Structure 1
Amino acid sequence: MATPALSVQLYTVREALAADLDGTLARLAGMGLADVEIFDFVDRAPLLAEELVASGLRARTGHASLLSAGLGLDDPALAGGRAAPPDQDTVFRAATAVGLQIVIDPFVAPDRWMTEHAVADTARRLNDAARRAADHGLRVGYHNHAQEFLSDIRGVSAYEFFAGELGDDVVLEVDLYWAATGGQDVPALLQRLGDRVAALHLKDGVTGPNPFRPGASRLDPTTLDQRPAGRGEIPLLAALAAAPSTAFGVIEFDHYPGDIFDGVQASVDFLRANGLR
């Protein structure tokens, strides 16, 4: 079985983080964690770098938008009033300041997974980002939800077609809960993806209908049945065994109905008991 470094995506504790950054990081460090995965770091990289060092934590992976340029979000007429995200070099400079190794794009909209042309174009854009990232000593990757599995292209899911279009220097972070929500046998998927899988989101729970399917209501995270590792239906240990090259095992909750730190601690305890370090 793979023994990746155990981490937690800070989005999991976003409310506590907003209220008390240093106290929240200290609490995670107190669980024996050495790694965290960061988000929304570009405008606060110096502060995050300082607080991570003070808490004894490191962030080697982080989420940031890399692909919105050219996908509509950079066009004010199409962006629905949203501000355009920072350019890639700005993202990569911030990532370097925090000490990241891999910058992971966390979301590409469902309509971009419905045609071969759109999927191939997204892969090309990520390949271009990888070449720019290399100038900063960084790698890039992609984190899935469930929309990537809504359509098939050339006999495979759009996600696997996408993976086949990526350059060798681009990695994948596979969210097991969302892949299962997309109808995937996750250990089999990981075996097919092979060494490209650099990180797993070890997210457990009970899956429901794919909330990204055409015609579905806007996703309400409070409707998701996500549970501490080992307490749901996602085959986490089989997935780890199927992805021996995985370097990071990341705990994440999109929503948790109880005390979020209890959920994280329970996940840490389960994963530590099963060999993660």
Structure 2
Amino acid sequence: MTKPSVQSLTKPSVQLYSIRDAVDENIDRAIERLAEIGFASVEPYAFHLRIDDYKRAFAAAGVTAPSGHAATIDAPDASVIFDAAAELEISLVIDPFIPTERWQSVSSVQALADRVNALAEQAAERGLQFGYHNHQWEFVNRINGRPAYEIFLDLLTPNVALEVDTFWATVGSADAPALLRQLGDRVQALHIKDGKISEDIATILPSSEDALVVPAALKAAFENQTPAGQGDVDVIGVLRAAPHALRVVEFDAYSGDVFAGIAESFAWLKQNDAEVTA
């Protein structure tokens, strides 16, 4: 598999969805604040809808975007997204969300895999990679006794990239480090996310229409996410299991100042990732 051109592991990326309110208010200042923390790269979301804004803000802050999120699987014309990625010099395009209802039968998972395989081939023709980002329901939903995610992986072609959200994989009862060791170089990026994990949030799922429409227990789980190393995820084990993968800090939500939380994760990674990969 050809790897995307990612930054040094000592310079992790950050998913801009974490600061979505700040991005909506002032995208230039929001990204500048991340650069001030020390980030040299970011992971934008829905980047095809704000190409000029992202391009301007990236240039002003001196950051790059090796990876980006866009709802590509259900897009009527994926070439629009891939064209935008090329313009923004994004080499790894990730679809962030397919709802739980489509992970409950072999036929539905097969259809998803077929679509992802085709998109990966289309991306490769442009010198890009395409892949998928998990939540917990891909693991919680079991088909003939197997996690739907496992079936999905079996159906993917080798050129499909994976971005593993290690928090949500752990919530879904996966052993995240073991999963990463099993997948090896197929995993091109990690979402470094931490927090308190309890059984109830594994099976309480968001609306099938919008990942932001969530029950109270899941909303609390979002807000109780913590900087890396302060929650229940084996983040050290995750780092050791995928030393090659781009680290992308993310918070779905945060009860405090999200920029402060991101800065704590950045500092923790700077210290602990250097020790793990030394």
Q: What's the TM-score, normalizing by structure 1? A: 0.87
Q: Report which stretch shifted further, 202-211 or 21-30.
A: 202-211
* Correspondence list, 1:150-169, <5 A: 150-153=140-143, 156-169=146-159
Could you say which residue in structure 1 is the equivalent of 2:106? 116
Structure 1 position 275, deviation (Å)? 2.8
Structure 1 position 115, deviation (Å)? 1.1
Distance, in Å, in 2 between the alignment partners of 1:118 and 1:130 is 18
Counterparts in 2 of 1:41 and 1:245: CA distance versus 1, 3 Å: same
Could you say which residue in structure 2 is the equivalent of 1:11? 17
- Code of the residue aligned with 1:183 in structure 2: it is S
Structure 1 position 209, deviation (Å)? 3.6
- Code of the residue aligned with 1:40 in structure 2: it is A
Structure 1 position 244, deviation (Å)? 2.9
* 1:132-170: CA deviation from partner (whole Å, max 9, x where unpaired): 112222110100001101233465321122112111111
Unmatched runs of 5 consecutive residues or more in structure 1:
69-84
Distance, in Å, in 2 between the alignment partners of 1:43 and 1:24 is 17
Structure 1 position 245, deviation (Å)? 2.9
Distance, in Å, in 1 between the alignment partners of 2:260 and 2:181 is 32
Distance, in Å, in 1 between the alignment partners of 2:58 and 2:269 is 23
Structure 1 position 203, deviation (Å)? 0.2
- Code of the residue aligned with 2:268 in structure 1: it is F
Distance, in Å, in 2 between the alignment partners of 1:205 and 1:214 is 16
Could you say which residue in structure 2 is the equivalent of 1:42? 48
* Paired residues of 2:119 and 2:130 also in contact (CA < 8 A): yes
Asked if 1:26 corresponds to 2:32, the answer is yes
Asked if 1:237 corresponds to 2:236, the answer is yes
* 1:206-244: CA deviation from partner (whole Å, max 9, x where unpaired): 123455737888524631120011110101110111123
* 1:170-224: CA deviation from partner (whole Å, max 9, x where unpaired): 1110001101111111111111222211111010001234557378885246311
Distance, in Å, in 2 between the alignment partners of 1:129 and 1:59 is 20
Could you say which residue in structure 2 is the equivalent of 1:267? 265
Asked if 1:223 corresponds to 2:220, the answer is yes
- Code of the residue aligned with 2:184 in structure 1: it is G
SS of the equivalent of 2:43 reads strand
Distance, in Å, in 2 between the alignment partners of 1:185 and 1:108 is 22
Could you say which residue in structure 1 is the equivalent of 2:95? 105
* Paired residues of 1:142 and 1:172 also in contact (CA < 8 A): yes
* Paired residues of 1:181 and 1:210 also in contact (CA < 8 A): no
Pick from 110, 117, 121: which aligns with 1:131? 121
Pick from 81, 84, 103: which aligns with 1:94? 84
- Code of the residue aligned with 2:122 in structure 1: it is R
Could you say which residue in structure 2 is the equivalent of 1:142? 132
Distance, in Å, in 1 between the alignment partners of 2:242 and 2:11 is 13
- Code of the residue aligned with 1:250 in structure 2: it is V
More helix by share: 2
* Paired residues of 2:11 and 2:270 also in contact (CA < 8 A): no
Instruction: Report percent identity of matched pairs.
Output: 40
Q: Report which stretch shifted further, 251-260 or 267-276.
A: 267-276
Counterparts in 2 of 1:30 and 1:186: CA distance versus 1, 3 Å: same
- Give the number of aligned pairs: 259
Distance, in Å, in 2 between the alignment partners of 1:133 and 1:193 is 21
More strand by share: 1
* Paired residues of 1:41 and 1:48 also in contact (CA < 8 A): yes
RMSD: 2.1
- Code of the residue aligned with 1:265 in structure 2: it is A
